């Protein structure tokens, strides 16, 4: 604006990128003659911006670029489009650290009528012309959202490492950036929200988590939170953080239950390596990855599964949606034929564990 470039501001109508929102934003952009998109905000703002850039360049409506369950199925297998789409010039400026949407190649939109989140333009990398990461833009993010975003990034780095992303060193670097930034706050019991170095490390972790996930596909925690986003208005990072300890509990159980299997023995070794790196970087030793996460969540009084009011009725269909989202993500992200470690039964176990905590909490309150 200061440079004299005409700009028109568009604000998300709700705290989620939706198909209808993309259509409205694209129509607005066309009406004012916009020929490019700049996004300031978190993952929802950046997802909407990516989708608008595609619609502006290719025409049509947002619904034309999503694949729903049942579309293009052959012998029960879901086929995702692989064509590379044109995009209008796109610039992303994240204002919060989290799951690395600034680096993501895929876009997720909510279909409100179906209460489900869908991959948009699956198989086509929607890559911005540039990403500007300025940690100073993140100084006003409150404590809970800050730590939840950091743990979301850290959890995604670890899951991408377990899933065998193409550059495991980057995933581990992201883990260490976040855990290292939490070292002093964990010791002192407080977070310097105005600390530029802290924000820089969290931003680094967020970026690297997005890069890692581009080649690993979506992990269980992200898949559950994305699927939850279709039926709940809870912030994405809050849901991810609440589920993370249960997710890593299940990874550890799988490694133990399948001892002697080379794949799961390697999974156990990676979990142990991740736990060692968390200890080394943060100065706090948890019994395992899940134990370390629970300590951080407790230390900063973050909402857990028992305080999220995750009732059984809210979770109907969540397993199927999470499993389908994970499968779709693997197809468009991975260069090999490997899939997710977690299967439907594992996702159900994670959810049952979290829901059980909710029920026990409620019984305790009644007593």
pTM to 2 decimals? 0.90
**What's the token pair of residue 215?**
């080649």
Residue 127 has a pLDDT of: 87
Q: What confidence tens digit (pLDDT) does each residue in 169-203 have?
A: 999 999 999 999 999 999 998 899 999 999 999 99
Q: Specify the pLDDT at position 97.
A: 95
Instruction: Please tell me the number of Cα atoms within 13 Å of 222 on its side-chain side.
Output: 32
CA angle 248, 254, 257 (to 5 degrees): 140
CB contact at 8 A, 290 and 245? yes
Domains with residue ranges and CATH for the chain? 19-131 (3.40.50.1970), 143-366 (1.20.1090.10)
Q: What per-residue confidence (pLDDT) applies to 123?
A: 76
- Dist CA 110 CA 184 (whole Å): 38
pLDDT value at 158 more than 50: yes
Residue 316 has pLDDT above 70, yes or no: no
Least trusted range by pLDDT, from 3-12, 14-23, 190-199, 267-276: 3-12
Residue 71: pLDDT band with limits 50, 70, 90: low
Cα separation, 52 vs 126, whole angstroms: 11
Going from the C-alpha of 311 to that of each of 205, 223, 232, the distances in angstroms are 32, 18, 11
Question: How far apart (Å, rounded) are the C-alpha atoms in residues 111 and 100?
Answer: 22
Q: How confident is the model at residue 15 (pLDDT cuts 50, 70, 90)?
A: confident
Distance CA 199, CA 148 (A): 13
How sure is the predictor about 114, in pLDDT bands with cuts at 50, 70 and 90?
confident
If residue 161 lies in a helix (H) or strand (E), which one and from where to where?
helix 143-163
If DSSP codes are grouped into helix, strand and coil, which group holds residue 37? strand
Residue 317's pLDDT is 79
SS3 track for 66-91: ECCCCCCEECCEECCCCCCCCCCCEE
Rounded CA separation 134/199 (Å): 9
Q: Which of 359 and 214 is assigned the larger pLDDT?
A: 214
Give me the mean pLDDT over the 317-342 stretch.
86
pLDDT one-digit tens code per residue, 290-301:
999 999 999 999
Q: What is the pLDDT of residue 366?
A: 47
Between 174 and 321, the more confident residue is: 174
Q: What is the structure's pLDDT at 278?
A: 97
Instruction: Output the pLDDT for position 281.
Output: 97
**Consecutive H or E run containing 251:** helix 236-257
Q: Which has more confidence, 119 or 152?
A: 152
With a cut of 50, say whether residue 70 has pLDDT above it. no
C-alpha–C-alpha distance, residues 37 and 29, integer Å = 9
- Of 122, 126, 100, 89, give the one whose Cα is nearest residue 42: 100
């Amino acid at each position: 604006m200061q440079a004299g470039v005409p700009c028109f501001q568009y604000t998300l109508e709700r705290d989620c990128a939706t198909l209808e929102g993309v259509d409205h934003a694209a129509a607005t952009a066309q009406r004012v003659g916009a020929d490019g998109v700049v996004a300031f905000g978190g993952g929802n703002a950046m997802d909407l911006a990516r989708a608008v850039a595609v619609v502006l360049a290719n025409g049509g409506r947002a619904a034309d670029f999503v694949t729903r369950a049942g579309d293009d199925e052959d012998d029960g297998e879901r086929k995702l489009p692989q064509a590379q789409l044109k995009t209008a010039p796109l610039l992303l400026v994240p204002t919060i650290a989290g799951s690395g949407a600034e680096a993501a190649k895929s876009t997720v939109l909510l279909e409100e009528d179906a209460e489900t989140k869908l991959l948009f333009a699956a198989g086509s990398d929607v890559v911005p012309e540039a990403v500007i990461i300025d940690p100073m833009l993140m100084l006003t993010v409150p404590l809970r959202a800050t730590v939840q975003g950091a743990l979301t990034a850290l959890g995604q780095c670890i899951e991408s490492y377990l899933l065998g992303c193409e550059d495991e060193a980057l995933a581990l670097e992201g883990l260490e950036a976040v855990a290292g930034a939490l070292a002093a706050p964990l010791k002192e019991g407080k977070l310097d929200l105005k600390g530029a170095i802290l924000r820089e490390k969290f931003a680094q972790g967020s970026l690297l988590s997005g890069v890692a996930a581009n080649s690993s596909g979506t992990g269980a925690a992200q898949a559950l939170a994305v699927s939850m986003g279709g039926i709940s208005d809870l912030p994405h990072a809050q849901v991810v953080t609440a589920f993370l300890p249960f997710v890593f509990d299940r990874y550890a159980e799988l490694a133990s239950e399948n001892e002697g299997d080379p794949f799961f023995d390697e999974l156990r070794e990676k979990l142990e390596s991740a736990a060692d790196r968390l200890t080394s970087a943060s100065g706090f030793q948890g019994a395992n990855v899940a134990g370390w996460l629970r300590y951080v969540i407790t230390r900063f009084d973050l909402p857990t599964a028992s305080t999220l009011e995750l009732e059984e009725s809210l979770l109907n269909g969540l397993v199927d949606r999470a499993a389908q989202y994970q499968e779709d993500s693997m197809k468009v992200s991975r260069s090999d034929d490997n899939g997710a470690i977690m299967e439907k039964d594992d996702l159900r176990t994670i959810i049952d564990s979290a829901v059980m905590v909710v029920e026990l909490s409620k019984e305790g309150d009644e007593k």
